[in-house]
């Protein structure tokens, strides 16, 4: 199993150097099929253990730029709100259509 230190040695600094999950998985000799579940799990573990790893569609990178990290956090918070709003709308729609079988 790959370690966080191995992961950190692969993920570059700077958004312009971002690396895709599939390439991370390949370099760590993790499965590359599907959605690179093991590589993404290792990335989440690294973040939970205090490492600053950001991502976009262009891949993953480490950052030591305060403004970049603040912008990324704001983007995550906006996405979380959008997901929460969508969840509430679906629940409302269900409850309106199914008043005898409400979702609390």
First to last CA, the chain: 42
What is the per-residue pLDDT for 1?
79
Q: What is the reported pLDDT for 35?
A: 84
Rounded to an integer, the average pLDDT of 76-102 is: 98
- Stretch (H or E) spanning 61: strand 59-62
CA-based Rg of the chain, rounded to a whole angstrom?
Answer: 18
* Average pLDDT of the residues in 65-83: 97
Domain 1-63 has CATH 1.10.4160.10: no
pLDDT (0 to 100) of residue 25:
95
pLDDT computed for residue 68 by the predictor:
96
Which structure tokens are listed for 80? 């979380």
Q: Give the per-residue pLDDT at 33.
A: 81
pLDDT digits (tens, 9 = 90+) for 9-62: 999 999 999 999 999 999 999 998 888 999 999 999 999 999 999 999 999 999
Six-digit token pair at 42? 């290792």
| The pLDDT value given to residue 9 | 97
Q: Count of CB atoms within 10 A of residue 53's CB?
A: 16
């Amino acid at each position: 199993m790959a370690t966080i230190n191995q992961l950190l040695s692969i993920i570059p600094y700077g958004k312009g150097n971002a690396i895709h999950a599939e390439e991370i998985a390949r370099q760590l000799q993790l499965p590359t099929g599907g959605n690179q579940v093991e590589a993404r799990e290792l990335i989440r573990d690294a973040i939970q253990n205090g490492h600053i790893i950001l991502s976009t569609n262009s891949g993953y990178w480490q950052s030591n730029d305060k403004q970049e990290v603040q912008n990324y956090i704001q983007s995550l918070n906006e996405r979380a709100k959008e997901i929460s709003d969508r969840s509430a709308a679906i629940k409302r729609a269900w409850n309106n259509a199914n008043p005898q079988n409400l979702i609390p």
